[in-house]
């Protein structure tokens, strides 16, 4: 470790103190240099391990998509831990009462709705890919927070939904939500 060498010797008669000759001190800094290199190595390694990863984001060329209505699910996070969802197009969902409001709980939340839709697609033979044919559209309401949208993305990962998109609310959806007294702004 560090070594400090200083020598002070008094020569002469008893009771008379002479000024001692100051010898140069030397400190062994080998351990400090080793510690410095260890810290530099630690910080380089940890920053290399924590590189950010980007998510692939695909958009259709002409701005529209051809999605079968039976495989489509639209999710609108409203804020305050509530989510509005509907199956297929909004007009069909209104006509056949295929819409609802839920939360994020495991038993009755949006994850359960996604799992039910996947099970339904797996059971029907007309869908070759089964649950992989499902397409989820996420349309955050103005009142939703980043936390709400992140929770929906988490549900996509948890339930292994392969195809989903983040889109703005349409005027038709805003009008429907306001007529149903569902707060979206």
Q: What is the pLDDT of residues 143-157, one digit of tens each?
A: 888 899 899 998 888
Which range marks the domain in which residue 169 is found?
69-179
Task: List the end-to-end C-alpha distance of the chain, in Å, as a whole number.
Answer: 66
Q: Does residue 55 have a pLDDT over 70? A: no
To the nearest whole number, what is the mean pLDDT of the chain? 79
Question: Would you say the pTM of this structure is higher than 0.95?
Answer: no
The verdict on residue 111 lying in a domain is yes
The phi and psi torsions of 181 (rounded to 5 degrees) equal 60, 35
Q: What is the CATH number of the domain that holds 167?
A: 3.30.420
CA distance 131 to 123: 9
The verdict on residue 18 lying in a domain is no
The verdict on residue 123 lying in a domain is yes
What is the tally of structural domains in the chain?
A: 1
DSSP, residue by residue, 16-45: PPPPPPPPPP----HHHHHHHHHHHHHHHH
């Amino acid at each position: 470790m560090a070594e400090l060498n200083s020598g002070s010797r008094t020569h002469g008669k008893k009771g008379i103190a002479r000024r001692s000759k100051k010898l140069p001190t030397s400190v062994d800094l080998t351990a400090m240099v080793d510690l410095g290199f260890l810290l530099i190595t630690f910080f380089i390694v940890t920053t290399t391990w924590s590189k950010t990863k980007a998510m692939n984001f695909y958009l259709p060329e002409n701005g529209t998509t051809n999605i079968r209505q039976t495989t489509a699910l639209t999710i609108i996070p409203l804020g305050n831990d509530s989510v509005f969802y509907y199956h297929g197009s909004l007009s069909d969902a209104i006509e056949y009462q295929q819409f609802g409001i839920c939360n994020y709980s495991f038993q009755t939340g949006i994850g359960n709705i996604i799992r039910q839709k996947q099970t339904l697609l797996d059971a029907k033979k007309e869908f070759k890919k089964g649950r992989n044919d499902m397409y989820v559209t996420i349309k955050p309401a103005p009142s939703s927070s980043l936390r709400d949208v992140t929770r929906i993305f988490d549900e996509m990962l948890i339930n292994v939904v392969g195809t989903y998109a983040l889109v703005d609310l349409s005027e038709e959806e805003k009008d429907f939500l306001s007529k149903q007294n569902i707060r979206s702004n």
